[in-house]
Amino acid sequence: MPHEAISLHLPNLLLILSVFVVGAASPGPATLMIVNVAAREGRAPAALLALGIVAGSAFWGCLAAFGLVAALKASVLFFTAMKFAGGLYLLFLAFRALRSASRKGVVIPAENTPARTSFRTHFLRGLLLHLTNPKAPLVWMATLSVGAAASAPPAFLFSAVTLCAFTGLLVFVGYAFLFSTRSAAGIYRRMRRPFDVVVGALFGAAGLKLLTLKTA
For the residues of 86-119, what is the DSSP string, one character each? HHHHHHHHHHHHHHHHTS-S---PPP-S-TT--H
| pLDDT at position 53 | 92
Over residues 72-97, the mean pLDDT reads: 77
Domain around 153: 3-211
Q: Residues 6 or more apart from 17 whose CB is under 8 A from it?
A: 160, 163, 164, 167
Residue-wise pLDDT for 111-163, tens only, equals 444 445 577 889 998 898 888 765 677 788 878 888 776 566 778 888 889 99
**Could you tell me if residue 127 is inside a domain?**
yes
Q: Does residue 73 or residue 152 have the better pLDDT? A: 152
pLDDT value of residue 41: 78
Kindly state whether residue 216 falls inside one of the protein's structural domains: no
- Residue 90, domain member (yes or no): yes
Query: CA-to-CA distance for 75 and 157, rounded, in angstroms?
Result: 17
Task: Look at 76 and 50; give whichever has higher pLDDT.
Answer: 50
Does a structural domain hold residue 69?
A: yes
The mean pLDDT value for 3-15 works out to 71
**pLDDT band at residue 2, thresholds of 50, 70 and 90?**
low
DSSP per-residue codes, 135-176: THHHHHHHHHHHH--TT--HHHHHHHHHHHHHHHHHHHHHHH
Q: Which pTM was predicted?
A: 0.66
Residue 13, pLDDT > 90, answer: no
Count other C-beta atoms under 10 Å from residue 215's C-beta: 12
User: Domains in the chain: how many in total?
Assistant: 1
- What confidence score (pLDDT) does residue 112 get? 42
